[in-house]
Structure 1
Amino acid sequence: MSSSHDLADRPLPRAIFWIAVAFSCFQVWTAAYSPISSQVVRAVHVGFVLLMIFTLYPGRGGRASAALGWVLGLAGFAASFYHWIYEADLTARAGQMTDADMVIGILTIVLVFEATRRIMGWALPIICGIFLLYGLFGQYLPGPFMHRGYGLDQIVSTMSFGVEGIYGTPTYVSSTYIYLFILFGAFLEQAGMIALFSDFSMGLVGHTRGGPAKVSVISSGLMGTINGSGVANVVTTGQFTIPLMKRFGYSSAFAGGVEATASMGGQIMPPVMGAVAFIMAETLNIAYVEVVKAAIIPALLYFGTALWTVHLEAGRKGLHGLPKEECPNPWQAVRERWFLLIPLIGLVVLLFSGYTPLFSGTVGLGLTVILIFGAAVIKGVGNLAIRYLFWVLLGFACAGFIRFGVTDFFVITAVLAVWLLARKHGLSTIGLAIKALAEGARNALPVAAACALVGVIIGIINLTGVAAAFGGEVIAIGENNLFLALFLTMITCLVLGMGIPTIPNYIITSSLAAPILLKLGVPLIVSHMFVFYFGIMADLTPPVALAAFAAAPIARENGLKISIQALRVAVAGFVVPYMAVYSPALMLQGGGVLAVAYIVFKAVLAIALWGAGVTGFLMTPIRWFERIYVILAASLLVAAEPWTDDAGFITAALFLVWHTWRSRRMRRQAMA
């Protein structure tokens, strides 16, 4: 059986390619025009996902398995239309199941479990299966986790119909915001955004100490702004950055660890962030921009941590950057491909202007189609009149958007783009756009499958109220100790993350832990970001570190060794969520400019000290007892108590004075 990231390495079979294109067209059509109800969109979205997964992952067994895959995929796709055809009847008899409803419901549950197993392995289906069994048989458990008991028809109704199970909030977000932004990223990648980010990063820091590793951090961070997928970042930018790091002296494990760490950070890097950000906004019923505001400083600190660690590692090993003359001019790269940034800038402006992610994503996609591919065509056209015509038509398109709205704008821009592409490059360039539609659908499969299956957990939690029982147990342990409650929550995230991706990890832990932290005085968005952040760190944690194992074949190194090095690179970032809980100003939750500046300064200092302690190097090598001292100094800065801040600043100052004096003495001795 192929792994999910192997999909990106081989072309889609012709039939599945056109199914993927149809999937993307369906999603764009429903996003632009909203012609059908949200319930139907969710069902057909899951139907397309089942069809593609079963046909792409037929299992072992040759033609028989392939034929069975098509049968199962078509069965799942057909079942999705049951919600469309009988929408009115299902609404009228909500909760009253017929025999046909039971058959469709059970079939959908089984197919969603099996499809997720095929694309993501056993871990998530097993966890969701335990919750499903709890819903069916939890009345026989002793103690506080016993519930009143529910019939099979109630379980199937909750899981397969309505908006609390498979078609719940995660699938709603997957079928709207997430898909559009994945498609947006696919178009930008096809248009050459990877090359722009790589050239810009290489020219900016490639010649500095440890430059190749810094290129990996910056380029992966920039890629994260458009796709929000850690594994996708690893298998795209990693193809270039990992061999480059190895060539300049970094070990294979460390090179893979740097790429995995930087790539996973893309999920918290605005403006697009990862799928979790959209789910969080929907769950908390807040504007997406509020999630972006809460994430921006922690995201910058995360990538600052990675840059600082690779800088210290390069100093410890005496590694240098590329020769200046071999690095491209970063601003030349921007001048040559400036038009690639227009959709991204437009997306940011719309999001921060208060428009919904669905609206912003649709407009951004329309801008991508016309401004990227259209501008690429016009760039090669020598006739000034045609260039002038292009910008005139673009003006009419924008006027159509302002006057008539997003749907007309999208249609005008799409038709205009096709005309321009056909005029200059014929079907070859249009084929590139069609390929982007197919790639977007393929990239969405793991996310969509996880969102559908994890709805089982949400449905059981809402049905049985188990979250309240679990919360009571944890609060009893940590009610008088916030740090202990945070630590238990972090461990839960890391343990769950060893087997499941960030999305279901966040949904499970936020459902269970966020209400607990709220009762302990932690602001709701901060508690959700705490869980989100450690869900990302879980993908770097041994023994099952998805991003590390995605980097393994590129680095030609064991995935476990890569994950250990990834933790070294990211370990200083473990302090950031704790600091945000004790000082919510770090996530722009309350406090003025001075409060934000103070906590940012404290976080930067703590990260700098922590990185030096873990790496064993600052200006010169640090001895083992100095490393322990400096880590303790950094730890004092995490809490928000006045005495801990004072003690942290004093111990940090003493260390820096001592280390500076010792480093200068060592240099004088070396020169003597």
Structure 2
Amino acid sequence: MPKITVVSGFMALVAVLAFLVPATALVWVMAVPQRLGLLIYPEQVAAFMLGLSLAVVYGRGMDAKAPAMRAVDGVLCFASLGLGIYVYLRFPVLSEGAFYHPTESMILGILVSVLVLEGLRRVVGWTLVIITFAMFLYALFGDYVPGALRGRGLPFADVMMFVGTDSSATWGAALQIAAFVVVVFVLFGGLLLALGGGDVFTQLAMRVAGTGPGNTAKIAVVASGLFGSISGSAVSNVMSTGVMTIPMMKRSGFRPEQAGAIEAVASTGGQLAPPVMGAAAFLMAEILQIPYREILLAALLPALIYYLSLYAQIDFIARRDGHGSADWLQREPMKAVVTKGWPTLTAFVVLIGLIFFRNAQAEVAAIWAILVLVAVASVAWLAGRGGGALSPRQLVAAIARTGSQTCDILLITAAAGMIIGLLSTTGLGFQLSFFLIGFGGENLFGLLVVTGLVGIVLGLGLPTTGVYLLLASMAAPALVQLGIPPLAAHMFVFYYGMLSMITPPIALAAFAGASIAEAPQLKTGIQAFKFGWIAYLLPFLFIYKPGLLMAGPWWEVAYVFVSALAALLLVAAGMIGHALTPLGPVLRAVFVVVGLLIIAPLRQFGPPILEFGVSAGGMALIAAYVLSARSGRSAPVAAAASRQARRGMPRAAGE
């Protein structure tokens, strides 16, 4: 009994620490210390939150651990908490005079490195740990590296002092953005779901998907996109929404690997879909020093194309394989959906309104939206209503759950801060950019392909946030130096950092969907790769057709969007072999070739009329096919009606 009591008490402490993570972020973003006249550096608060996060990571699941492991993790937990408090108290002194306290600074750097890397290994595996350790080795022994990437070796003490005390390393911009922006938005999403926002999204998805062929999969696409836009995590989104959508798809006739893949691709796209997107979007806004609303606007059309491509493929497959409408789904009337979901919809209106019409900072707008949700939940609880009500205990529990979810992000960004800082202080970042600029000056397309492949490979073992931060430090500056607009360059690496979620052989989101669908993992990964094909081409359009990112005159934006839609319809139909009607081999090949030519940046190789002519030809091809398919389907019905009229027979219902 005493052991159970100790473990239970320890887990309660961990829950309190998890609650303090988002609570601290809220206090800082609302400028409470400044209003009280306190002079506190943002690095101090970020360090305190990292210490809390490390303590939560080491303390989670203590009841399931062996006694020896409990003792080790207990020590690590309290060491992490002590680290956060110590840096909070000592940072003002050490940041200004680390060389006056060399031993203290070196020990602090060692402690930070060990705790972060071990915590990182537990939450995301070895890949980022190995990359970070390799950067430490380069900082120490860079003078032994041959060739153009040769650097200068730094003393061990200097490297540790830099990691532990410098504002451009562990406690720098990456960690601060995650602590003060990402955590707030994750809290907003967590409260939204706790108040029943999930049911509202599902019902809205049912209304949008309608009753056409394959509507269960279309519901999964819309619902997962809505969920993913506020969760920002592909795998967790699959695990939360997939338990409902995947069985629905299987019941309506989709193969298990198709159902798992559709859910994975839809959930992965949530990181691209405004208004919340993934954590990397907030990092992008801060790195580029542009308002978050500009990121949202730039991401809007690519996200629409991504989801419309998936939607069209589902429709064509459903028609080809005979998946009818799932009439057994219970859809609530739109009025009932709005009546029940008005708190969710109101919070979204507040968020978007403040960002776009009041020019509020993204995190400030999110806090106002959170206050709306908390007020609604509290009033509903006081009024004794069940729906949309949260008691104070439930509210605290929801905040603590959010805190636990954000701990992983804070560890990832802390390690990324170490890497970014070491890239800068060793000069390796400059050397890599110089090398890439030289390569891209001869072959920009080749540089884009290499950058995309590196993003996918890094993503096999890293979350999107980590991949983006690495590529934003190494590859994006080279692309910008070659004349590519900064937003386009960063959106390029952002997309390719995400694609590993649906790219075999790892394809974490697809494998999560496969586990729910009880389907072979590799088959599901291959299906996800096929369903998400458009996402591999979109980043190249950011570079060669920037109108897709809302850059340029309105007619250019409209042209790029419409032509991209035409291309995705043609390619999807050609790959599947069916659109409104079955397609023969020749027509399939024509559709795919014309679709890819529309996407291709032909203006780079010839006069503009060449590209516009191909696009016009593709749209004419679609129009001719639709007219032909409709007349072909209506001809038998018209002939039957004519025969019945001549015989004096009434038409049968439905003919």
Task: Tell me if TM exceeds 0.5.
Answer: yes
2:140 and 2:159 in contact (8 A); partners too: yes
Q: 1:573, CA displacement in angstroms?
A: 3.1
Counterpart of 1:495 in structure 2 is 457
Q: Give the SS at the match of 2:277.
A: coil
Counterpart of 1:364 in structure 2 is 369
The CA distance in 2 between the partners of 1:611 and 1:316, in whole Å, is 13
Q: 1:656, CA displacement in angstroms?
A: 6.1
Counterpart of 2:591 in structure 1 is 630
The CA distance in 2 between the partners of 1:290 and 1:661, in whole Å, is 42
1:570-649 alignment, distance < 5 Å: 570-589=532-551, 591-638=552-599, 639-641=601-603, 642=608, 643-649=610-616
Match of 2:423 among 461, 469, 481: 461
Counterpart of 2:125 in structure 1 is 121
Counterpart of 1:472 in structure 2 is 434
1:123-138 alignment, distance < 5 Å: 123-138=127-142
Q: Give the SS at the match of 2:502.
A: coil
Q: Partner letter of residue 161 of structure 1?
A: T
Match of 1:327 among 327, 331, 347: 331
Tell me the alpha carbon deviations over residues 592-648 of structure 1, each in whole angstroms, 9 at most, x when there is no partner.
221111111111111111222222221223344543332221221221512244235
Q: 1:95, CA displacement in angstroms?
A: 4.9
Q: Give the SS at the match of 2:167.
A: coil
1:85-164 alignment, distance < 5 Å: 85-164=89-168
The CA distance in 2 between the partners of 1:346 and 1:306, in whole Å, is 30
Q: Partner letter of residue 32 of structure 1?
A: M
1:417-456 alignment, distance < 5 Å: 429-456=391-418
Runs of 5+ unmatched residues, structure 2: 1-9, 34-39, 641-655
Counterpart of 1:247 in structure 2 is 251
Match of 1:552 among 502, 514, 522: 514
The CA distance in 1 between the partners of 2:131 and 2:623, in whole Å, is 48
1:57 and 1:119 in contact (8 A); partners too: no
Tell me the alpha carbon deviations over residues 481-505 of structure 1, each in whole angstroms, 9 at most, x when there is no partner.
3322222221111111112110111
Q: Partner letter of residue 481 of structure 2?
A: K
Query: Residues 341 and 69 from structure 1, CA distance in 2 versus in 1: closer, same or farther, beyond 3 angstroms?
Result: same
Q: Give the SS at the match of 2:503.
A: coil
Are 1:310 and 2:271 an aligned pair? no
1:572 and 1:611 in contact (8 A); partners too: no
Q: Give the SS at the match of 1:492.
A: helix
Q: 1:88, CA displacement in angstroms?
A: 3.1
1:540 and 1:547 in contact (8 A); partners too: yes
Which moves more between the two structures, 347-356 or 159-168? 159-168
2:238 and 2:264 in contact (8 A); partners too: yes
Q: CA RMSD in A?
A: 2.6
Q: 1:109, CA displacement in angstroms?
A: 0.4
The CA distance in 2 between the partners of 1:620 and 1:341, in whole Å, is 39
The CA distance in 2 between the partners of 1:68 and 1:334, in whole Å, is 51
Query: Residues 315 and 33 from structure 1, CA distance in 2 versus in 1: closer, same or farther, beyond 3 angstroms?
Result: same
The CA distance in 1 between the partners of 2:41 and 2:504, in whole Å, is 43
Q: Give the SS at the match of 1:322.
A: coil
2:381 and 2:391 in contact (8 A); partners too: no
The CA distance in 1 between the partners of 2:296 and 2:41, in whole Å, is 28
1:57 and 1:118 in contact (8 A); partners too: no
Runs of 5+ unmatched residues, structure 1: 1-11, 382-420
Q: 1:660, CA displacement in angstroms?
A: 6.0
Q: Partner letter of residue 146 of structure 1?
A: R
Query: Residues 379 and 588 from structure 1, CA distance in 2 versus in 1: closer, same or farther, beyond 3 angstroms?
Result: farther
The CA distance in 2 between the partners of 1:301 and 1:379, in whole Å, is 44
Q: 1:258, CA displacement in angstroms?
A: 1.0
2:570 and 2:622 in contact (8 A); partners too: no
Q: 1:228, CA displacement in angstroms?
A: 2.2
Q: Partner letter of residue 356 of structure 1?
A: Q
Are 1:233 and 2:237 an aligned pair? yes
The CA distance in 1 between the partners of 2:510 and 2:503, in whole Å, is 9
Q: Give the SS at the match of 1:539.
A: helix
Query: Residues 128 and 632 from structure 1, CA distance in 2 versus in 1: closer, same or farther, beyond 3 angstroms?
Result: farther
Match of 1:564 among 519, 526, 537: 526
The CA distance in 1 between the partners of 2:91 and 2:134, in whole Å, is 31
1:145-294 alignment, distance < 5 Å: 145-294=149-298
The CA distance in 2 between the partners of 1:140 and 1:493, in whole Å, is 27
Tell me the alpha carbon deviations over residues 290-324 of structure 1, each in whole angstroms, 9 at most, x when there is no partner.
11111111111111112112111211211112217
2:233 and 2:268 in contact (8 A); partners too: yes
Query: Residues 187 and 61 from structure 1, CA distance in 2 versus in 1: closer, same or farther, beyond 3 angstroms?
Result: closer
1:258 and 1:566 in contact (8 A); partners too: yes
2:208 and 2:222 in contact (8 A); partners too: no
2:213 and 2:324 in contact (8 A); partners too: yes
Counterpart of 1:374 in structure 2 is 379
Q: 1:562, CA displacement in angstroms?
A: 2.0
The CA distance in 2 between the partners of 1:660 and 1:491, in whole Å, is 41
TM-score by length of 1: 0.86
The CA distance in 1 between the partners of 2:23 and 2:480, in whole Å, is 41
The CA distance in 1 between the partners of 2:629 and 2:229, in whole Å, is 42
Larger Rg: 2
Which moves more between the two structures, 553-562 or 169-178? 553-562
Q: 1:668, CA displacement in angstroms?
A: 6.5
Which moves more between the two structures, 512-521 or 624-633? 624-633
Counterpart of 2:645 in structure 1 is none
* Equivalenced residues, count: 617
Q: Partner letter of residue 444 of structure 2?
A: L
Are 1:14 and 2:19 an aligned pair? no
Q: 1:44, CA displacement in angstroms?
A: 0.8
Tell me the alpha carbon deviations over residues 404-453 of structure 1, each in whole angstroms, 9 at most, x when there is no partner.
xxxxxxxxxxxxxxxxx9xx98xx72221111111111211222221111
